[in-house]
Structure 1
Amino acid sequence: MKTTFGVYLSLLSALVIAGCASSSKISKPLPEAKVYPSQSQQTASTAPVNEEPSLISIQSKYLIRDSTQVKVYLYVDAYRGKNAIASDDFAKTYNLNYVIYSDYGTRDRLGYGNVKLNESNVSKVGNKVVVSFDIKSPNKDYGVLLSEISQTGTLKKVLNDLTIRFKKQSTNELYGVYTAASTEPLQRHYINSNEPFAVKRITESTDQLHVFYYKHSFDAAGSPMNTAPKTVSKSLEVDSSFTINTNETLRFEKEGLYNIFSDTTQSEGMGLLVVNERYPKMTRPEALLGPLLYMSTNTEINEIKKAEDYKKALDKYWLNLMNGNAPLAQQSIRSFYGRVEEANQLFTTYKEGWKTDKGMIYIVLGPPDKVQRSKDREVWTYDQRGNAQNVNFTFNRRNNQFVDDHYELVRYAEYQPIWYPVVEAWRNGTIR
């Protein structure tokens, strides 16, 4: 028995140790706009040496300067060989063009242009290259900005689409969150506990903002097969409220959700999730249990919850699934929680990324083979999963008081023959 528990204790230790190292995921671009990195691809540290530049992914956001201009930010994962590309190298290697359309699926152009890349609009934040540029606001409420980054002298290019609400004046459209390490606003919705940051407008005006703090822990996504009507959630109680000033350095110590308003009469604020210092990695044994609900029975979850030692219980859970094969259990743990970390990076909104509908689908099924977007809808297509081909998952944008990119999955009972074989593959260690 002592030997067996020694094996149990070693499994999650590997995950905790691995969590201390950085990992940059390399993935192939999706055919449509945004790129979701693939767990199955190699990390930058183990990628074959190739000195050719490559664009891995682009994410984007915008801030409204005034009624005539919008500033756009592109957050680019770009590499030369196995190393993240330098900002000056990026500016020399790539070109940027854009077109503004009136909507998805139309050719009605509202504006277009090209952006000369140089040190004034290309910077580096961590491993990401950030490109910023101004566009003129058309006399429209809404538009779709299609940005194209192409490699000079080649046919290689990556596209990004960004929905812009030109006349919306909510906190999300006017203010950005800046950390001490960046002169550009964060693209993500979270910061780590005690991480210094500031809230700013492009105009650099000094404003007073209102903050409402919620200690509430939000529920994880429900099964994609659960078509029962959702129960109406009770209104959240505000745990505390206070005011802050723009441009001043702040630190939020308490983990939880902070909703920031420039005007308390507004219905939508700028949600900022404060998380532990290791996030988006998950290494605390008590936190590792949560995502397992997507591949576990209620009995298994309850047994772990009742255990005095979460770490031993989690190791036992994985070893039992893998029939005592410790190396296979370790590999499955790395694969599963690697997906969880990526979901946290990509999909965190007012709650952790792994808890969202997109995060759930991403963790279990991996990155989609194709993504199609419209104004308030996103469709993920998987060429083959489980016993089916060309499987579609539709996410509809829903109004949310904390963030403007909250999507909910359209659930169908017919997902069962797709979902359960993939879950079973996680449980027997055949997913890498």
Structure 2
Amino acid sequence: MMTTTKTTKLTFISSILIFCLAAWDVHGQSNLKNINQSLRYSRYSRISPKIIPLKTGEREFLLQMPVEKIEEAPNFDDYTFSYVVVEDFEEEITEKNIVPLTASDLAKDTDRHFYFEKSVTIPADQNEAYAVIICKDTRQGDQYVYHTDLISPFIADIPNFGAYYDNDIPFDQTYINKGEALLFKSDQSMNLYHYFYPRAFEIPLPPMETRPAPVAKDIQVIDKGEFLVNVPQPFEDEGYYFVQTDTAEQTGFMVKTTNAAYPRVSTYDEMIDKLVYISTRNEHEALRAAEDKKKALDQYWLELTHDTEKAQGIIREYFRQIEFANILFTDFKEGWKTDRGMIYTVMGPPTGVFFDADKEIWIYDKIGSKSKISFTFARIRNIFTPNYYKLNRSRSYQPEWFQSITLWRSGKMAF
């Protein structure tokens, strides 16, 4: 009996160790600072994991981990899932601190999501904490990593309420179409306050433009009053909303409200607005002034390519980039109007994405190119979103930027 019990325990421990190693590629030392997270921005990702934390105590958090199913009807057994909580971006991530997530850990398995929940407690003497979910596609080895702050200098606090779809999966986007509703839930009885900001934003300056951006005007705020948790709350106007439990605090939930077609482009006026990144000023002004927008756009593309088929290819690719920028980078701005969305639209998905507590670095190492180019986005503390980044602009970006624009205009840009 003693020998059988010991063997069973060793077999169990070995199986957990093998699972962890399968879920995590250990190449020397791995930490949040040196993990390439480029798959979170890929146009060909099969899943999209998130962590949406809720604060449940002074140092206690519920890690809500929805994994969006992008490929059709994915098989759970084709992936391995795990998570870890680290103190900083340099703490080593190994099989020793990774916690596996198995089918028995699934809180829900819906048409759109695999969903896990885990509670964690942060030691009282720990000043920072970051949660990481790791998902590995065992078919070809793709590794999806997503991290979020629990305690850090860039967030005031984590809300003790959450927003949910009507099937109780945590809301894992930053935008909804106006008129739609979210369900807000908490384990505490509370009223929530929400405020509406109708402001529209200008497009960002190019990456080589080092002069200061125009100073924002006063932001209009409309008090939309109180509402109860556990009751669906609609958001009727287009702009963005901020929801709080305590208006004296600097923490809450922000959601962008959009037109019904978002994140796609649906009108000729929208198409013209979004061509600003690859058009000359004169071209863009002429398009805006045209009485027949469709005819003007058709003529614009044909003059660039002199080929109808090639023009159709550029249109499809460019507005697909806009759609992805909106999905990936929307905050209180439309995704394509953010600094990261601008770079993504013109340069394409980066081949390397690396994070530190205070920045995000994109690397482009394109086939056929003799040099790498990198963009650094500084993280800025913002009451509305923990993921607000601004590009560190430099005149040195000008050659690569113009080269990418030329590729778009000649129909040679493809991803």
TM bracket (short chain): 0.7 to 0.9
Contact kept in structure 2, 1:358 and 1:409, CA below 8 Å: yes
Q: CA deviation at 1:56?
A: 4.5
Show the counterpart of 1:359. 341
Any idea what the Cα deviations from partners look like across 1:272-303, whole Å, max 9, x if unmatched? 11111111111122222222111111111111
Show the counterpart of 1:343. 325
2-structure distance, mates of 1:397, 1:167: 12
1:138 counterpart (123, 134, 139): 123
Which runs of 5 or more structure 2 residues have no equivalent in the other structure? 1-24, 26-33
Show the counterpart of 1:389. 371
The 3-state SS of whatever aligns with 2:108 is strand
2-structure distance, mates of 1:254, 1:195: 10
1:118 counterpart (97, 103, 117): 103
2-structure distance, mates of 1:37, 1:267: 29
2:164 maps to a residue whose letter is Y
Contact kept in structure 1, 2:39 and 2:143, CA below 8 Å: no
Q: CA deviation at 1:106?
A: 3.0
Q: Is 2:233 the counterpart of 1:242?
A: no
1:36 maps to a residue whose letter is R
Contact kept in structure 2, 1:67 and 1:137, CA below 8 Å: no
1-structure distance, mates of 2:208, 2:251: 30
1:96 counterpart (77, 81, 90): 81
Q: CA deviation at 1:408?
A: 0.4
1:142 maps to a residue whose letter is E
In the TM superposition, what are the counterparts of 1:28-427 in structure 2 within 5 Å? 32-33=36-37, 35-39=39-43, 56-77=47-68, 83-85=72-74, 89-90=75-76, 92-107=77-92, 112=97, 114-118=99-103, 121-124=106-109, 126-139=111-124, 140-150=126-136, 156=141, 158-166=143-151, 173-180=159-166, 182-201=167-186, 203=187, 205-323=188-306, 325-384=307-366, 389-427=371-409
Q: CA deviation at 1:61?
A: 2.7
Any idea what the Cα deviations from partners look like across 1:54-82, whole Å, max 9, x if unmatched? 95443333222222432223343557xx6
Q: CA deviation at 1:112?
A: 3.5
The 3-state SS of whatever aligns with 1:71 is strand
1-structure distance, mates of 2:391, 2:217: 21
Q: CA deviation at 1:226?
A: 0.7
Which runs of 5 or more structure 1 residues have no equivalent in the other structure? 1-28, 42-53
Instruction: Let me know the Cα RMSD of the aligned residues.
Output: 3.0
TM-score for both structures, normalised by structure 1 = 0.79
Contact kept in structure 1, 2:278 and 2:408, CA below 8 Å: yes
Contact kept in structure 1, 2:50 and 2:133, CA below 8 Å: no
Q: Per the alignment, do residues 126 and 315 of structure 1 end up closer, same or farther by CA in structure 2, a change over 3 Å counting?
A: farther
Contact kept in structure 1, 2:55 and 2:158, CA below 8 Å: no
The 3-state SS of whatever aligns with 1:235 is coil
The 3-state SS of whatever aligns with 2:386 is coil
Q: Per the alignment, do residues 167 and 342 of structure 1 end up closer, same or farther by CA in structure 2, a change over 3 Å counting?
A: closer
Q: Per the alignment, do residues 66 and 362 of structure 1 end up closer, same or farther by CA in structure 2, a change over 3 Å counting?
A: same
Contact kept in structure 2, 1:206 and 1:247, CA below 8 Å: no
212-221 vs 355-364, which moves further: 212-221
The 3-state SS of whatever aligns with 2:159 is helix
Aligned-pair identity (%): 29
Contact kept in structure 2, 1:379 and 1:393, CA below 8 Å: yes
Q: Per the alignment, do residues 231 and 143 of structure 1 end up closer, same or farther by CA in structure 2, a change over 3 Å counting?
A: same
387-396 vs 113-122, which moves further: 113-122
The 3-state SS of whatever aligns with 2:233 is coil
1:368 maps to a residue whose letter is P
The 3-state SS of whatever aligns with 2:362 is strand
1:361 maps to a residue whose letter is I
Q: CA deviation at 1:339?
A: 0.7
User: Matched residue pairs, number?
Assistant: 379
2-structure distance, mates of 1:305, 1:55: 38
2-structure distance, mates of 1:345, 1:261: 24
Any idea what the Cα deviations from partners look like across 1:135-184, whole Å, max 9, x if unmatched? 222322322333333467x894625242323489967533322122x312
TM-score for both structures, normalised by structure 2 = 0.82
Q: CA deviation at 1:241?
A: 3.1
Show the counterpart of 2:15. none
Contact kept in structure 1, 2:48 and 2:144, CA below 8 Å: no
1-structure distance, mates of 2:88, 2:265: 38
2-structure distance, mates of 1:417, 1:127: 42
Contact kept in structure 2, 1:196 and 1:251, CA below 8 Å: yes
